[in-house]
Structure 1
Amino acid sequence: MTKLVRKLRLNNYWNLVEHESWYTHMAQQGLFLKKNGVFFTYFEERPEQQMKYRIEVSKKGLDIAQIDFYEAAGWDYVTSDKYFHVFSSPAELNAPEIHTDPTQQAHMLKELNRMLMFNWILTIFGAVFSSAFFWAIFFLDGTPIRQLVQGMTTSQLLLPLFMFFLMIQVAQAALSIRRLKKNLQRGIPLQHDIPWRKKTLKQHVWAYLYLGVGLLHLFFSSMQLYMMERGTLTADHHEFSAVPLVSIENNDAFIHEEHLGNGIDYGNMYEKSWNPLAPTQYTVDESGIVPNKLWEDGSGEYSPSIMTEYYEVSFEFLARPLARDLMKWYDFGDGRLYSKVADSRFDVLYTREDFPKLEIAAKKGKKVVYVRYYGDARKSQVIEQVAIFLNLGSK
């Protein structure tokens, strides 16, 4: 049984003469072209031999009569790869060239040139559309940093990058075939023995780029799915520390109130996620009641609640705009203004009050916390607990 040897294929599939030269070189090493795959070219291992290879271009494929005609002239059909059909001939046979008229050969490239130019236009539209789509995701609501550090958005950013790479590669293909066609129209024949080795690193650059983007996407997506977690908050969840509701209320009668559903207490729960720009990020919700106490307006039993959203970003320059974005995001489109509060313990401190709701966003170093509190505690009390949570101490 003939042994097949697999080699990473030359990625610039449109460069016909470079492939011909490569196949010839491999035959001199005892490896004879068998077929082309998506990522690899497969060679048959046989005794070394001087071979010549020629690539015929035909979008519609080659019929049996045409193949028989070439074989009668000394060119054996080897394999096809979409629009490219490869023939080989032993060098000692000195078979006549498949094409002796450059202008006729240029005519055969006309349809392929048109198709590649059309593909180029499509990839431009695809790149523009994907860029516009992600621009809308990140900037339309005015909170780009929040979108960047949350959830799956980082891995999704790789799609426009992939489309950009694809657009460049298709452009190279279209312009290369167009240039080749024009040279043939001028009567300049193809040079079948060009040195392909000088472009060795460039040959696989697109394969490396696509592989890198693909691996990054796989890694980010897998990590984000693996790190996602939600459940009922218990005393055992020490890693999900938050601004404690019980400390803000400072009332011995306070008790946590359960809101069970699907096995989770939605009134006292945590949600954890991961992003390379904010590896530590989670949200903690707490709620409770104080028996025999009413809201100030007498609307019902006093039932305070708090949500703590915490991030530790990878780069400190993301922290300040993240705090600002969180205040923007949680105004729920109402355009409610927030204030910057002077407190030397924080790098930045924002607050917004709409009694009985109080919102706070604070930044210290790489740490960012957003707190939304419903209750009748004073703002200073809540800020004090935020400072303690960030290990900044009391005033």
Structure 2
Amino acid sequence: MPDRVEALEKDESEYVRRWKPDDLCDLDRNESWFSDMAEQGLFVDHFTRWSVWFKRGTPQKTRYRMDVLSRALTEDELALYDSCGWHFAALHTEEGFRKDICYYVFRTDENAGVPELHTDPVEQAKSLKRLHGRLRRDVFLMLVFMAVVFWDLLMPGRPDLRFELLVTGEEPVRIYWVFFVLLETVNSVRGWLNIRRLRKRLAEGEPLDHHADYRKAHRRYAVISGLKLLLAGWLFAVLATQVIQLIASTRIRPLPETADFPAVRLEELYDGMLAENGISGELHHQWTTAGAEIDELRERANEAEANSILELRTASIRLPFVWTAKRAFAALTEMEMYDESDGYYRMGEIAPVETNLVDEAWAAAPGEDNWNQFVLLARDGRQIVMMFYLDRTNGDFDDPVEAEVFRDRCTERLLPMLAQKLEG
């Protein structure tokens, strides 16, 4: 052991690093691979998280054997192995909740007349019981984790998530976790099946095949590892694109005289007198990763006589496809609130409106559950328009009948104007 530590402090040119081509629990294939590397003059020295480090030396035929233990060996125990002809080569420890798993690698010259490290296959099978149990538990935990991830992504009670995925595309982390967990589950199942295969062989009294073919297994492991790297690269690229897009495309502009997207203006909707300070507001424009163009128009004014507040918020979303607009609108009608760039707006008790002016329309009467705002949602083709209208000249709409009358009046006034702008 001290010799190994001192060797690590020497020039790194003495060492060659190889990415781990498989899990260490694949004992027979790893032993075979280590032996082939020794014939090339590369001898296992130590492990890191992702790599196996080999020390350069004179090529020679070498037998490698792996031992799986639940604790680290003492110096005296290592000396006993050495006296039997099996020299310590490397150790990798996987920490556990209750006990660690220690992978020991021993080596001896191919021509040395020393007995096998394990002479009783049945006893060796028993030594793998703890490792088998841990890998089986890992598979169970990964399956539970996968179920949680899919439930979070696909559960019907999350219309806001469906809307975000279709409109903004700002949920790449969730998508990443779905595929990452799938790949990790495949790896976990693969490791568990490997150790199960070895235990079954040993329990039947047959020793491990120390010259097992490892190339096909290495290729499968490399494919899974490559997919995980590509997945991480995709996530980084998407997040970087979102940041760049947010900086480049998001603009807050002064209130325009005319909008270049379908929007009914406050001065068109309100037929009373406004205060002398007129209408103020701004326009928020944004392109999203999902290819949607979002315009949010915010207008504020005061009524002339009582100086009551009037507000009209219009969100216009143009999606790239009709089918995505349909699905996004369906999710929108199930949502309790819409999260705009400057805050969120409650939908209230929204209900469908019978009309042939647009493809779909829903409206909600003002009330306490939507902060006394009239809400209108409309879809025509791939265009979605949301309108939130606050008119404080009518008070708090404590009377539900009065609120419904106001809703119907606003709907009858707004829909024809909005349909005309959608056609234009």
Length-normalised TM-score, structure 2? 0.74
Q: RMSD of the TM alignment (CA)? A: 3.5
Match 1:46 to one of 57, 64, 88: 57
2:391 matched to 1:372? no
Match 1:96 to one of 101, 106, 115: 115
Q: Please say if residues 326 and 370 of structure 1, whose CA atoms lie closer than 8 Å, have aligned partners that are also in contact.
A: no
2:278 and 2:197 mapped to 1: Cα distance? 74
What does residue 284 of structure 1 align with?
296
Give 1:359 deviation, angstroms.
0.9
Q: Please say if residues 102 and 189 of structure 1, whose CA atoms lie closer than 8 Å, have aligned partners that are also in contact.
A: yes
Match 1:153 to one of 165, 171, 178: 171
What does residue 73 of structure 1 align with?
84
What does residue 268 of structure 1 align with?
282
1:389 and 1:66 mapped to 2: Cα distance? 85
Moved more, 190-199 or 6-15: 6-15
Match 1:308 to one of 300, 305, 315: 315
Mapping of residues 53-202 of structure 1, within 5 Å: 53-82=64-93, 83-136=102-155, 139-142=156-159, 145-149=162-166, 150=168, 152-202=170-220
2:115 and 2:356 mapped to 1: Cα distance? 86
Give 1:58 deviation, angstroms.
0.9
What does residue 350 of structure 2 align with?
336
Q: Deviations over 1:188-211 (max 9, x none)?
A: 100000122233421313312322
Q: Please say if residues 16 and 42 of structure 2, whose CA atoms lie closer than 8 Å, have aligned partners that are also in contact.
A: yes
Q: Please say if residues 284 and 307 of structure 1, whose CA atoms lie closer than 8 Å, have aligned partners that are also in contact.
A: yes
Match 1:217 to one of 235, 238, 262: 235
1:77 and 1:240 mapped to 2: Cα distance? 76
Q: Please say if residues 103 and 187 of structure 1, whose CA atoms lie closer than 8 Å, have aligned partners that are also in contact.
A: yes
**Residues matched between the structures, number:** 369
* Runs of 5+ unmatched residues, structure 2: 1-10, 94-101, 338-345, 367-372, 392-405
Give 1:387 deviation, angstroms.
5.3
What does residue 265 of structure 2 align with?
245
2:377 matched to 1:360? yes
The one-letter amino acid paired with 1:341 is T
What does residue 21 of structure 2 align with?
10
Q: Please say if residues 248 and 382 of structure 1, whose CA atoms lie closer than 8 Å, have aligned partners that are also in contact.
A: no
Give 1:385 deviation, angstroms.
5.9
Indicate how the Cα distance of structure 1 residues 257 and 177 shifts in structure 2: closer, same or farther if over 3 A, else same: same
Give 1:323 deviation, angstroms.
1.8
Length-normalised TM-score, structure 1? 0.79
Identity over aligned residues, as a percent? 18
| Partner SS state of residue 233, structure 1 | strand
2:285 and 2:78 mapped to 1: Cα distance? 65
Q: Please say if residues 142 and 185 of structure 2, whose CA atoms lie closer than 8 Å, have aligned partners that are also in contact.
A: yes
Q: Please say if residues 255 and 282 of structure 2, whose CA atoms lie closer than 8 Å, have aligned partners that are also in contact.
A: no
2:245 and 2:418 mapped to 1: Cα distance? 26
Q: Please say if residues 103 and 184 of structure 1, whose CA atoms lie closer than 8 Å, have aligned partners that are also in contact.
A: yes
Give 1:373 deviation, angstroms.
4.1
1:198 and 1:122 mapped to 2: Cα distance? 27
Q: Please say if residues 349 and 365 of structure 2, whose CA atoms lie closer than 8 Å, have aligned partners that are also in contact.
A: no
Give 1:241 deviation, angstroms.
5.4
Q: Please say if residues 248 and 381 of structure 1, whose CA atoms lie closer than 8 Å, have aligned partners that are also in contact.
A: no
1:157 and 1:351 mapped to 2: Cα distance? 31
The one-letter amino acid paired with 2:265 is L
The one-letter amino acid paired with 1:360 is L
